[in-house]
Structure formats: C-alpha cells, structure tokens
Amino acid sequence: MTRNVAWFHPFSGIAGDMTMGALLDAGADLNFVVATLKQLNIDGWALSAERVERKGIDATRAIVDAPEQRHHRHWSDIRKILESSSLPDRVKTRSLAVFETLAIAEGKVHGIPAEDVHFHEVGALDAIVDIVGSCAALESLDIDEIASGPVAVGVGTITAAHGVLPNPPPAVVNLLEQIPTVGVDVDLELTTPTGAAIIKALATGVGAMPDMTIRCSGYGAGSRDLSDRANVTQVIIGSLTPAAAQSSDETETVIELSTNLDDVTGEQLGHAIGELMAAGALDAWVTPIVMKKNRPAHTLSVLSHPNQATELTGLVMSLTGTLGVRSRQLDRVTAKRTTVTVSVDGHDIGVKISDIRIKAEFDDVAAAATALGLPVQEVAARAEALAGDL
C-alpha cells in the first residue's frame, strides 16, 4: 500500500501561513481548503493566495484576512469549535493535536495546566485558519505521514502580547525540545509557535529526507523578503519507498526517559510506574543495575510521546526524588492494528488484530475466566478465535 509523505524543510524557519503556502504551492486545492475551513462554522475570515518571489524562488504566499481584534481564546474554546465542527476526521484529529501541543507548551511557559491556557496570538482567528487550513491542505494532497528537516530559529528579541521576549520565544523553545534546530544570525522570528507546533505534533521524525519517490514540491513564502536567504518553507511530497514504508507498519518518534536510582524502595518504584502510565506514558519499566560503589540499584525507564516528555520528566523527578533524568529520541515501528470486542458466554473481551497476531486483552480475559470458572488460556483462545472469524 502506497503511503504519501510530506517532508518539510524549514531552512528559513516555519510558520502556519508558510506551511499552508508551501502545500498550496505543491498542488493542494485552495477551494477545498476554503470549503473545509467553512465547516468550522465561524465567520470573519477570508483566505487567498498570491505568487511571490523570494531570492529567485517562485513561491506561494497564503494570505489570511481576519480583521478581528486579538481574541484571547482558551484552549477549551478552540477544542469545542473543532470538536463540534464537521471537519473531515483526519483534519479534525490533526488540528486538535496541534492546538493541544500548543496548549502544553504555553502552559509550561506560564506555569499553569494546559486546560487553563488562554492563547494570545495563536488564539486569534488568523492563527486558527493557518492551522486548520494547513491540515486541510494536507488532506487535499492525501498525505499519510509528515516529516521535517531541522528547524531554523533566529536571534535577538520579538514583541508579543506580553511585551518584549527573547527570540526564539519561550513557547517555541518548549515546542522544539528534542527536535534538531539550526541557529541563524537573523534578527527575526523565523519559526513561530504555530509552525513549531505543526512540526512537534504531526511530524513522525525530524532529520534527513525519508526515502521516497518524489511527486512534487512547493515553497511557502513568509511576508518579509530577507536580505541573505529565501524566506520560504520548502515541502517535498512523494510516496515512501517500500523499505521506508515498512510494509503496513508505522514509524513514529518517541522519547525514552531514564534515571538511575539507588535510594528508593520497591513499593516506590511500583507506585511510580503506575502513576507514569496513568499520566500517559507509552510504557514504563525497571531494570536492576549495579551503580558506583557497587551499590545495587534500578534504572527507571519511561517511553513517551515527544509532546509529553517534559511533563513526564517532571513527574519522574517528583515521584522518585531523582536530581537528573536522561532522554534520547528513538524511532518506534508499530504494526497497524484494530481492536474489536467479542463476547465469550456473555462477557465482553477486547481483542487486538494485526497482520501478524491476534491478541485478547488479558485483563478482560482474566475477569471473564474468573466469572466463568475457566482457565484463562481457554477463554483467550475462544476470544481470539471469535475475533479471527470477524
């Protein structure tokens, strides 16, 4: 099965309008994007595109006309707008992911939970159009996977709703944690929070261009014409080669957190694993080790989505008292799977189905086995057989 990929090259940074412009330049249908945005059921905006030149490169500039006063919408307000809309499923899911990632980053800046964040610039109507419009443009091109090259950032200061801020601003720095960046000696906000959030939330990996058969490319222009570089974001679109596509499997970027502990009890370690999993960790485990001075100890390891790594790092510290947590970026290949529910003698059991295995959920199996007075092996086998018949 062919998987279409869009690889962004933000060598001069990335913003929401530059992302959308690059995708339109690559062939996304502007009429489709506008029609999709209308499904948000909010008024007061218009979207157009114009051809411009940036240092000899013919590019598309996406122009959002939304003259509302700066509206400080809460993350919960934007979530309601998106969830109540009739956007296509993938557009809605991607848009929600970008805004949730923004909320987490902004919450860290202000020391508040993501749910309490009210957006300034990124809560304005033009930013909503930028983000949802970019996701709609991805859908127009039938993009299955997003990747990116290292992200360029500028120097100096910028002026925002809170006053003068360092460049890159704090929210952008939070969003680019664990993402390769390139410092550019330009006193301009090359990468904006919306652009950084699109990469953070949607890119499965950041680095060299993936192995692909190139279909087309595009360039999204920023509003300013820089003196020493083309102020554009490049996107290259194609189909992943068979090796890169990994058959029907999916590759995603994850963060592994770890810390060595020689002064916590087994009860504390068990409690920590439970709390980390409840907080959204993909996995958590403990490995026996021998530390300095020949002390028996344990390594606590946690697997996290990139946008949760900072939160889970703080949780590891608070749960264990450790003074340091290591992190590294990994690629994780996961088999595509679906989950179905079957009934074994009146007891519902969830079963995961992939191309290589059918596996019943053990907790469901154990509960049914106890109620029915049967061995867990028998209940699991019956549930998996029923799922296989589906």
What would the two tokens of residue 32 be? 């489709």
Reference 138, options 240, 44, 8; nearest CA is 8
pTM: 0.64
Q: 251 pairs with which residues across the strands? A: 333
pLDDT on residue 4: 94
Strands 232-240 and 157-160: unpaired
Low-confidence residues of the chain: pLDDT under 50: 123, 247-248
pLDDT on residue 63: 95
pLDDT on residue 161: 67
Tally of residues, the chain: 390
pLDDT on residue 314: 92
pLDDT on residue 332: 79
pLDDT on residue 244: 57
Distance CA 301, CA 95 (A): 31
User: Mean pLDDT, the chain, as a whole number?
Assistant: 89
pLDDT on residue 245: 55
Give the domains, in start order, of the chain with CATH numbers: 4-245 (no CATH), 250-334 (3.30.70.1380), 337-389 (no CATH)
